[in-house]
Chain A
Amino acid sequence: MTPSNVAQPAADDPIRVAAFEGRIAAGETIEPKDWMPERYRKQLIRMMSQHAHSEVVGMLPEGNWITRAPSLRRKMSLLAKVQDEGGHGLYIYCGTETLGVDRHDLIDQLLSGTAKYSSIFNYPTLTWADMGAIGWLVDGAAIVNQTVLAKCSYGPYARAMLRICKEENFHKRQGYEIMATLSKGTPAQKAMAQDALNRWWWPSLMMFGPSDKDSPHSAELLRWKVKRKSNDELRQRFVDLTVPQAHAIALVLPDPDLKHNTDTNHWEIGPINWDEFFNVIKGNGPCNRERLEARRRAHAEGAWVRQAAEAYAAKQRGRAQSTAA
Protein backbone atom coordinates (compact mmCIF):
# COMPACT_ATOMS: atom_id res chain seq x y z
CA MET A 1 0.00 0.00 0.00
CA THR A 2 1.15 3.52 -0.68
CA PRO A 3 2.35 5.28 2.44
CA SER A 4 1.42 8.86 3.17
CA ASN A 5 4.52 10.98 2.93
CA VAL A 6 2.82 14.10 4.25
CA ALA A 7 4.13 13.81 7.78
CA GLN A 8 7.73 13.16 6.72
CA PRO A 9 10.12 15.77 8.11
CA ALA A 10 12.62 17.26 5.64
CA ALA A 11 15.69 16.15 7.54
CA ASP A 12 15.80 13.02 9.64
CA ASP A 13 15.27 13.66 13.31
CA PRO A 14 18.19 11.95 15.14
CA ILE A 15 15.87 10.76 17.91
CA ARG A 16 13.62 9.04 15.40
CA VAL A 17 16.65 7.56 13.61
CA ALA A 18 17.87 6.14 16.91
CA ALA A 19 14.44 4.65 17.63
CA PHE A 20 14.35 3.21 14.12
CA GLU A 21 17.79 1.64 14.48
CA GLY A 22 16.67 0.24 17.83
CA ARG A 23 13.76 -1.49 16.12
CA ILE A 24 16.10 -2.93 13.48
CA ALA A 25 18.55 -4.13 16.12
CA ALA A 26 15.67 -5.81 17.98
CA GLY A 27 14.88 -7.75 14.81
CA GLU A 28 11.60 -5.97 14.05
CA THR A 29 10.30 -5.75 10.51
CA ILE A 30 9.76 -2.32 8.97
CA GLU A 31 6.43 -1.90 7.20
CA PRO A 32 5.41 0.68 4.57
CA LYS A 33 3.64 3.10 6.90
CA ASP A 34 6.34 3.00 9.58
CA TRP A 35 8.66 5.94 9.91
CA MET A 36 12.03 5.31 8.25
CA PRO A 37 15.08 7.47 7.54
CA GLU A 38 15.05 8.99 4.05
CA ARG A 39 18.33 7.25 3.33
CA TYR A 40 16.86 3.83 4.19
CA ARG A 41 13.93 4.54 1.87
CA LYS A 42 16.29 5.69 -0.93
CA GLN A 43 18.60 2.71 -0.56
CA LEU A 44 15.66 0.30 -0.69
CA ILE A 45 14.18 2.02 -3.73
CA ARG A 46 17.58 1.78 -5.43
CA MET A 47 18.08 -1.89 -4.58
CA MET A 48 14.52 -3.05 -5.17
CA SER A 49 14.06 -1.21 -8.45
CA GLN A 50 17.37 -2.56 -9.76
CA HIS A 51 16.25 -6.01 -8.70
CA ALA A 52 12.86 -5.61 -10.43
CA HIS A 53 14.53 -4.31 -13.60
CA SER A 54 16.88 -7.30 -13.54
CA GLU A 55 13.94 -9.70 -13.48
CA VAL A 56 12.35 -7.91 -16.44
CA VAL A 57 15.54 -7.66 -18.50
CA GLY A 58 16.32 -11.25 -17.46
CA MET A 59 13.44 -12.41 -19.65
CA LEU A 60 15.29 -11.29 -22.78
CA PRO A 61 18.34 -13.60 -23.00
CA GLU A 62 16.08 -16.64 -22.49
CA GLY A 63 13.13 -15.40 -24.52
CA ASN A 64 15.62 -15.53 -27.35
CA TRP A 65 15.60 -19.37 -27.18
CA ILE A 66 11.92 -20.19 -26.68
CA THR A 67 11.25 -20.80 -30.37
CA ARG A 68 14.41 -22.89 -30.69
CA ALA A 69 14.02 -25.15 -27.63
CA PRO A 70 14.97 -28.72 -28.60
CA SER A 71 11.74 -30.38 -27.37
CA LEU A 72 8.22 -29.49 -26.32
CA ARG A 73 9.10 -30.32 -22.70
CA ARG A 74 12.02 -27.91 -22.74
CA LYS A 75 9.92 -25.29 -24.48
CA MET A 76 7.14 -25.47 -21.88
CA SER A 77 9.69 -25.19 -19.06
CA LEU A 78 11.40 -22.22 -20.64
CA LEU A 79 8.11 -20.43 -21.30
CA ALA A 80 7.06 -20.99 -17.68
CA LYS A 81 10.43 -19.77 -16.43
CA VAL A 82 10.35 -16.61 -18.52
CA GLN A 83 6.77 -15.95 -17.37
CA ASP A 84 7.96 -16.34 -13.77
CA GLU A 85 10.67 -13.73 -14.33
CA GLY A 86 8.01 -11.28 -15.51
CA GLY A 87 5.97 -12.13 -12.40
CA HIS A 88 9.01 -11.62 -10.18
CA GLY A 89 9.56 -8.21 -11.70
CA LEU A 90 5.96 -7.35 -10.84
CA TYR A 91 6.24 -8.58 -7.22
CA ILE A 92 9.27 -6.41 -6.65
CA TYR A 93 7.89 -3.35 -8.47
CA CYS A 94 4.81 -3.71 -6.25
CA GLY A 95 7.05 -3.90 -3.19
CA THR A 96 8.97 -0.81 -4.35
CA GLU A 97 5.73 1.13 -4.76
CA THR A 98 5.08 0.75 -1.04
CA LEU A 99 8.02 3.13 -0.57
CA GLY A 100 6.15 5.93 -2.31
CA VAL A 101 7.48 5.61 -5.86
CA ASP A 102 5.46 4.90 -8.95
CA ARG A 103 6.02 1.80 -11.07
CA HIS A 104 5.45 3.89 -14.16
CA ASP A 105 8.40 6.15 -13.29
CA LEU A 106 10.62 3.14 -12.58
CA ILE A 107 9.77 1.60 -15.94
CA ASP A 108 10.46 4.95 -17.64
CA GLN A 109 13.90 4.93 -16.02
CA LEU A 110 14.55 1.43 -17.33
CA LEU A 111 13.42 2.26 -20.86
CA SER A 112 15.35 5.54 -20.98
CA GLY A 113 18.52 3.73 -19.93
CA THR A 114 19.09 5.61 -16.67
CA ALA A 115 18.27 2.63 -14.41
CA LYS A 116 20.74 -0.13 -13.59
CA TYR A 117 20.06 -3.84 -13.71
CA SER A 118 22.16 -6.94 -13.10
CA SER A 119 25.18 -6.91 -15.43
CA ILE A 120 24.78 -10.67 -16.09
CA PHE A 121 21.97 -10.03 -18.56
CA ASN A 122 24.27 -8.09 -20.85
CA TYR A 123 25.99 -11.30 -21.93
CA PRO A 124 24.72 -13.05 -25.07
CA THR A 125 23.01 -16.45 -25.15
CA LEU A 126 24.85 -18.14 -28.01
CA THR A 127 23.78 -21.79 -27.76
CA TRP A 128 21.03 -23.93 -26.21
CA ALA A 129 23.45 -24.89 -23.43
CA ASP A 130 23.30 -21.25 -22.29
CA MET A 131 19.72 -21.95 -21.15
CA GLY A 132 21.14 -24.67 -18.94
CA ALA A 133 23.98 -22.52 -17.63
CA ILE A 134 21.66 -19.59 -16.87
CA GLY A 135 19.17 -21.70 -14.95
CA TRP A 136 21.86 -23.54 -13.04
CA LEU A 137 24.29 -20.68 -12.34
CA VAL A 138 22.43 -17.38 -12.71
CA ASP A 139 19.28 -18.59 -10.95
CA GLY A 140 21.44 -20.57 -8.55
CA ALA A 141 23.33 -17.41 -7.60
CA ALA A 142 20.08 -15.46 -7.39
CA ILE A 143 18.62 -18.04 -4.98
CA VAL A 144 21.64 -17.76 -2.67
CA ASN A 145 21.25 -13.99 -2.69
CA GLN A 146 17.49 -13.93 -2.34
CA THR A 147 17.26 -16.56 0.40
CA VAL A 148 19.12 -14.08 2.58
CA LEU A 149 17.12 -11.09 1.32
CA ALA A 150 14.00 -12.96 2.44
CA LYS A 151 15.14 -12.08 5.98
CA CYS A 152 15.70 -8.40 5.19
CA SER A 153 14.30 -5.74 7.51
CA TYR A 154 11.79 -4.33 5.02
CA GLY A 155 8.63 -6.46 5.11
CA PRO A 156 7.36 -6.10 1.53
CA TYR A 157 10.80 -6.90 0.08
CA ALA A 158 11.26 -9.90 2.37
CA ARG A 159 7.83 -11.28 1.47
CA ALA A 160 8.44 -10.86 -2.27
CA MET A 161 11.74 -12.73 -1.86
CA LEU A 162 10.07 -15.66 -0.10
CA ARG A 163 7.67 -16.08 -2.98
CA ILE A 164 10.43 -15.73 -5.58
CA CYS A 165 12.77 -18.23 -3.91
CA LYS A 166 10.08 -20.93 -3.96
CA GLU A 167 9.61 -20.44 -7.68
CA GLU A 168 13.27 -20.15 -8.60
CA ASN A 169 14.12 -23.60 -7.32
CA PHE A 170 12.41 -24.92 -10.43
CA HIS A 171 14.46 -22.54 -12.58
CA LYS A 172 17.69 -23.84 -11.16
CA ARG A 173 16.76 -27.50 -11.43
CA GLN A 174 15.56 -27.25 -15.02
CA GLY A 175 18.85 -25.53 -15.93
CA TYR A 176 20.95 -28.13 -14.14
CA GLU A 177 18.97 -30.89 -15.85
CA ILE A 178 19.75 -29.34 -19.26
CA MET A 179 23.45 -29.25 -18.40
CA ALA A 180 23.45 -32.83 -17.06
CA THR A 181 21.67 -34.09 -20.17
CA LEU A 182 24.07 -32.32 -22.54
CA SER A 183 27.05 -33.51 -20.54
CA LYS A 184 25.91 -37.14 -20.95
CA GLY A 185 25.20 -36.60 -24.68
CA THR A 186 27.40 -36.67 -27.78
CA PRO A 187 30.91 -35.18 -27.60
CA ALA A 188 29.55 -32.09 -29.39
CA GLN A 189 26.76 -31.70 -26.84
CA LYS A 190 29.16 -32.09 -23.96
CA ALA A 191 31.47 -29.51 -25.52
CA MET A 192 28.52 -27.14 -25.85
CA ALA A 193 27.72 -27.51 -22.14
CA GLN A 194 31.37 -26.96 -21.19
CA ASP A 195 31.58 -23.88 -23.42
CA ALA A 196 28.47 -22.39 -21.79
CA LEU A 197 29.91 -23.06 -18.33
CA ASN A 198 33.19 -21.41 -19.39
CA ARG A 199 31.36 -18.26 -20.45
CA TRP A 200 28.84 -18.01 -17.56
CA TRP A 201 30.91 -19.04 -14.54
CA TRP A 202 32.77 -15.79 -13.93
CA PRO A 203 29.87 -13.45 -14.70
CA SER A 204 27.76 -15.52 -12.25
CA LEU A 205 30.35 -14.99 -9.52
CA MET A 206 30.28 -11.25 -10.28
CA MET A 207 26.51 -11.22 -9.64
CA PHE A 208 27.21 -10.98 -5.90
CA GLY A 209 28.82 -7.61 -6.45
CA PRO A 210 32.30 -6.32 -5.69
CA SER A 211 34.27 -7.52 -2.71
CA ASP A 212 32.94 -5.91 0.46
CA LYS A 213 35.96 -3.71 0.85
CA ASP A 214 35.10 -2.14 -2.55
CA SER A 215 31.32 -2.14 -2.19
CA PRO A 216 30.16 1.40 -1.46
CA HIS A 217 26.79 0.48 0.06
CA SER A 218 27.57 -2.66 2.05
CA ALA A 219 28.27 -1.34 5.55
CA GLU A 220 25.12 0.76 5.83
CA LEU A 221 22.90 -1.91 4.28
CA LEU A 222 24.26 -4.53 6.66
CA ARG A 223 23.66 -2.25 9.67
CA TRP A 224 20.06 -1.70 8.59
CA LYS A 225 19.66 -5.44 7.92
CA VAL A 226 18.66 -4.80 4.34
CA LYS A 227 21.56 -7.07 3.56
CA ARG A 228 22.17 -9.87 6.05
CA LYS A 229 25.39 -11.31 4.61
CA SER A 230 28.30 -9.69 2.83
CA ASN A 231 28.85 -10.07 -0.92
CA ASP A 232 31.90 -12.26 -0.34
CA GLU A 233 30.11 -14.55 2.12
CA LEU A 234 27.27 -15.10 -0.35
CA ARG A 235 29.68 -15.69 -3.23
CA GLN A 236 31.51 -18.28 -1.13
CA ARG A 237 28.28 -20.06 -0.30
CA PHE A 238 27.44 -20.22 -4.01
CA VAL A 239 30.88 -21.54 -4.92
CA ASP A 240 30.72 -24.23 -2.23
CA LEU A 241 27.30 -25.34 -3.48
CA THR A 242 28.16 -25.28 -7.16
CA VAL A 243 31.58 -26.92 -7.39
CA PRO A 244 30.31 -30.40 -6.38
CA GLN A 245 27.37 -29.95 -8.78
CA ALA A 246 29.81 -29.35 -11.65
CA HIS A 247 31.85 -32.40 -10.63
CA ALA A 248 28.70 -34.55 -10.52
CA ILE A 249 27.98 -33.84 -14.18
CA ALA A 250 31.63 -34.12 -15.26
CA LEU A 251 32.08 -30.48 -16.24
CA VAL A 252 35.20 -28.46 -15.43
CA LEU A 253 34.98 -25.02 -13.83
CA PRO A 254 37.12 -22.57 -15.84
CA ASP A 255 39.37 -21.58 -12.93
CA PRO A 256 42.89 -23.05 -12.79
CA ASP A 257 43.29 -21.70 -9.23
CA LEU A 258 40.17 -23.40 -7.86
CA LYS A 259 41.12 -25.55 -4.89
CA HIS A 260 39.53 -27.07 -1.82
CA ASN A 261 40.81 -25.79 1.48
CA THR A 262 40.61 -28.77 3.81
CA ASP A 263 41.01 -26.57 6.91
CA THR A 264 38.05 -24.29 6.18
CA ASN A 265 36.17 -26.82 4.03
CA HIS A 266 35.63 -24.05 1.44
CA TRP A 267 36.40 -24.04 -2.27
CA GLU A 268 38.76 -21.14 -2.99
CA ILE A 269 38.53 -19.37 -6.34
CA GLY A 270 41.10 -17.44 -8.32
CA PRO A 271 40.93 -13.65 -8.78
CA ILE A 272 37.81 -12.15 -10.38
CA ASN A 273 38.27 -9.73 -13.26
CA TRP A 274 36.51 -6.70 -11.76
CA ASP A 275 37.54 -4.47 -14.66
CA GLU A 276 35.19 -6.53 -16.81
CA PHE A 277 32.40 -6.17 -14.24
CA PHE A 278 32.67 -2.37 -14.01
CA ASN A 279 32.97 -2.09 -17.76
CA VAL A 280 29.72 -4.01 -18.28
CA ILE A 281 27.98 -1.91 -15.59
CA LYS A 282 29.08 1.25 -17.39
CA GLY A 283 27.20 0.04 -20.45
CA ASN A 284 30.02 -1.53 -22.42
CA GLY A 285 28.92 -5.16 -22.10
CA PRO A 286 28.32 -7.28 -25.18
CA CYS A 287 24.52 -6.76 -25.18
CA ASN A 288 23.66 -3.62 -23.16
CA ARG A 289 22.25 -1.75 -26.17
CA GLU A 290 20.52 -4.77 -27.62
CA ARG A 291 18.73 -5.55 -24.33
CA LEU A 292 17.37 -2.03 -23.93
CA GLU A 293 16.30 -1.85 -27.55
CA ALA A 294 14.48 -5.17 -27.21
CA ARG A 295 12.78 -3.96 -24.01
CA ARG A 296 11.70 -0.66 -25.63
CA ARG A 297 10.37 -2.49 -28.65
CA ALA A 298 8.41 -4.92 -26.46
CA HIS A 299 6.94 -1.99 -24.51
CA ALA A 300 5.94 -0.14 -27.68
CA GLU A 301 4.53 -3.26 -29.30
CA GLY A 302 2.46 -3.92 -26.18
CA ALA A 303 0.81 -0.48 -26.35
CA TRP A 304 -2.23 -1.81 -28.20
CA VAL A 305 -2.83 -4.37 -25.45
CA ARG A 306 -2.84 -1.65 -22.79
CA GLN A 307 -5.11 0.51 -24.94
CA ALA A 308 -7.50 -2.39 -25.57
CA ALA A 309 -7.68 -3.12 -21.83
CA GLU A 310 -8.53 0.51 -21.14
CA ALA A 311 -11.13 0.68 -23.91
CA TYR A 312 -12.71 -2.51 -22.57
CA ALA A 313 -12.79 -1.14 -19.02
CA ALA A 314 -14.36 2.11 -20.28
CA LYS A 315 -16.98 0.18 -22.23
CA GLN A 316 -17.87 -1.95 -19.21
CA ARG A 317 -18.21 1.18 -17.05
CA GLY A 318 -20.44 2.73 -19.72
CA ARG A 319 -22.67 -0.35 -19.74
CA ALA A 320 -22.90 -0.46 -15.97
CA GLN A 321 -23.95 3.20 -15.92
CA SER A 322 -26.56 2.78 -18.64
CA THR A 323 -28.14 -0.22 -16.85
CA ALA A 324 -28.13 1.75 -13.61
CA ALA A 325 -29.80 4.74 -15.30
Chain B
Amino acid sequence: MSNDAKSGTDGQWPLWEVFTQAKSGAPHEHAGSVHAPDAEIALQNARDVYARRGEAVSIWVVPTAVIAATSPSDTGPFFDPASDKAYRHPQFYKVPQGVRVF
Protein backbone atom coordinates (compact mmCIF):
# COMPACT_ATOMS: atom_id res chain seq x y z
CA MET B 1 0.00 0.00 0.00
CA SER B 2 2.76 2.45 0.84
CA ASN B 3 4.31 1.88 -2.59
CA ASP B 4 0.97 2.50 -4.23
CA ALA B 5 0.63 5.76 -2.36
CA LYS B 6 3.83 7.00 -3.99
CA SER B 7 2.74 6.12 -7.51
CA GLY B 8 0.88 8.49 -9.82
CA THR B 9 0.33 12.02 -8.62
CA ASP B 10 -0.84 10.92 -5.15
CA GLY B 11 -3.53 13.57 -5.01
CA GLN B 12 -1.16 16.26 -6.28
CA TRP B 13 -3.87 17.58 -8.53
CA PRO B 14 -4.39 20.91 -10.25
CA LEU B 15 -5.80 23.78 -8.24
CA TRP B 16 -9.30 25.12 -8.95
CA GLU B 17 -10.75 28.36 -7.65
CA VAL B 18 -14.23 27.98 -6.21
CA PHE B 19 -17.01 30.57 -6.57
CA THR B 20 -20.27 30.05 -4.70
CA GLN B 21 -23.66 31.72 -5.11
CA ALA B 22 -25.42 32.04 -1.76
CA LYS B 23 -28.92 32.41 -3.18
CA SER B 24 -30.60 32.80 -6.51
CA GLY B 25 -30.03 36.31 -7.82
CA ALA B 26 -26.86 36.88 -5.78
CA PRO B 27 -23.46 37.07 -7.49
CA HIS B 28 -21.01 34.18 -7.39
CA GLU B 29 -18.27 35.03 -4.93
CA HIS B 30 -14.83 33.57 -4.42
CA ALA B 31 -14.93 31.01 -1.59
CA GLY B 32 -11.49 29.40 -1.79
CA SER B 33 -9.83 26.65 -3.76
CA VAL B 34 -9.69 22.87 -4.06
CA HIS B 35 -7.41 20.33 -5.70
CA ALA B 36 -9.05 17.95 -8.16
CA PRO B 37 -8.12 15.85 -11.19
CA ASP B 38 -11.04 17.17 -13.26
CA ALA B 39 -13.95 19.63 -13.20
CA GLU B 40 -16.52 17.10 -12.04
CA ILE B 41 -14.52 16.10 -8.97
CA ALA B 42 -13.58 19.75 -8.39
CA LEU B 43 -17.30 20.54 -8.13
CA GLN B 44 -17.89 17.66 -5.73
CA ASN B 45 -14.91 18.64 -3.58
CA ALA B 46 -16.04 22.28 -3.62
CA ARG B 47 -19.50 21.22 -2.41
CA ASP B 48 -18.00 19.13 0.42
CA VAL B 49 -15.55 21.83 1.47
CA TYR B 50 -17.51 25.07 0.93
CA ALA B 51 -21.19 24.12 1.10
CA ARG B 52 -21.75 21.69 3.95
CA ARG B 53 -24.49 23.87 5.47
CA GLY B 54 -26.47 24.98 2.48
CA GLU B 55 -24.20 28.01 1.84
CA ALA B 56 -24.58 27.68 -1.92
CA VAL B 57 -27.23 27.10 -4.55
CA SER B 58 -24.68 27.16 -7.37
CA ILE B 59 -20.94 26.59 -7.63
CA TRP B 60 -18.42 27.54 -10.33
CA VAL B 61 -14.95 26.03 -10.44
CA VAL B 62 -12.22 27.53 -12.61
CA PRO B 63 -8.69 26.17 -13.10
CA THR B 64 -6.49 28.59 -11.16
CA ALA B 65 -3.92 28.54 -13.95
CA VAL B 66 -6.30 30.15 -16.47
CA ILE B 67 -7.27 33.13 -14.32
CA ALA B 68 -5.71 36.40 -15.41
CA ALA B 69 -5.50 39.09 -12.75
CA THR B 70 -4.15 42.60 -12.41
CA SER B 71 -0.94 42.81 -10.46
CA PRO B 72 -0.64 45.06 -7.41
CA SER B 73 2.26 47.00 -8.99
CA ASP B 74 -0.08 47.99 -11.85
CA THR B 75 -2.77 49.12 -9.49
CA GLY B 76 -1.98 52.82 -9.80
CA PRO B 77 -1.55 53.24 -13.58
CA PHE B 78 -4.07 50.55 -14.50
CA PHE B 79 -6.96 52.11 -12.61
CA ASP B 80 -5.80 55.73 -13.02
CA PRO B 81 -8.14 56.61 -15.87
CA ALA B 82 -11.10 56.37 -13.51
CA SER B 83 -9.74 58.59 -10.79
CA ASP B 84 -10.12 62.01 -12.48
CA LYS B 85 -13.62 61.57 -13.89
CA ALA B 86 -15.85 62.99 -11.24
CA TYR B 87 -18.42 63.76 -13.97
CA ARG B 88 -19.29 60.04 -14.00
CA HIS B 89 -20.92 60.46 -10.58
CA PRO B 90 -24.32 62.07 -9.99
CA GLN B 91 -22.90 64.36 -7.28
CA PHE B 92 -21.00 66.21 -10.04
CA TYR B 93 -24.23 67.78 -11.33
CA LYS B 94 -26.03 70.69 -9.75
CA VAL B 95 -29.75 70.58 -9.22
CA PRO B 96 -31.98 73.55 -8.35
CA GLN B 97 -32.61 73.82 -4.62
CA GLY B 98 -35.67 71.93 -3.38
CA VAL B 99 -36.08 69.70 -6.42
CA ARG B 100 -36.24 66.00 -5.75
CA VAL B 101 -34.26 64.21 -8.44
CA PHE B 102 -34.70 60.62 -7.33
Contacts and interface: CB of A to CB of B under 8 A. Distances in A.
The 9 closest A-B pairs by CB, nearest first: A313-B37, A313-B38, A303-B5, A306-B11, A94-B33, A104-B12, A34-B72, A303-B4, A300-B1
A33 B34 contact: no
A31 interface: yes
Contacts, number: 77
A290 interface: no
Interface residues of A, number: 37
Nearest to B53: A167
B49 A2 contact: no
Interface in B13-35: 13, 15, 17, 32-35
Interface of B: 1-2, 4-5, 7-13, 15, 17, 32-38, 40-41, 48-49, 52-53, 64, 67, 69, 71-73
Contacts of A317: 38
Looking at chain A's contact residues, is the secondary structure mostly helix, strand, loop, or mixed? helix
A198 B99 CA distance: 72
5 contacts: A33-B71, A35-B72, A103-B35, A303-B10, A304-B4
A159 B18 CA distance: 14
A97 interface: yes
Contacts of A31: 72
A202 to B, nearest CB: 32
A7 B73 CA distance: 11
Contacts of A83: 52
Contacts of A307: 4, 7-8
Nearest to A30: B72
Contact of A97 (B33, B36, B53): B33
A301 B40 CA distance: 23
B94 to A, nearest CB: 34
A90 interface: yes
B52 A84 contact: yes
Interface in A31-51: 31, 33-35
A157 B34 CA distance: 15
A84 B13 CA distance: 22
A91 B48 CA distance: 11
A253 B49 CA distance: 36
Contacts of B7: 307
B17 A1 contact: yes
A255 interface: no
Given A303-B10, A310-B37, 13 more contacts: A2-B15, A33-B71, A35-B72, A35-B73, A97-B33, A104-B11, A300-B2, A306-B10, A306-B11, A307-B7, A313-B37, A316-B38, A317-B38
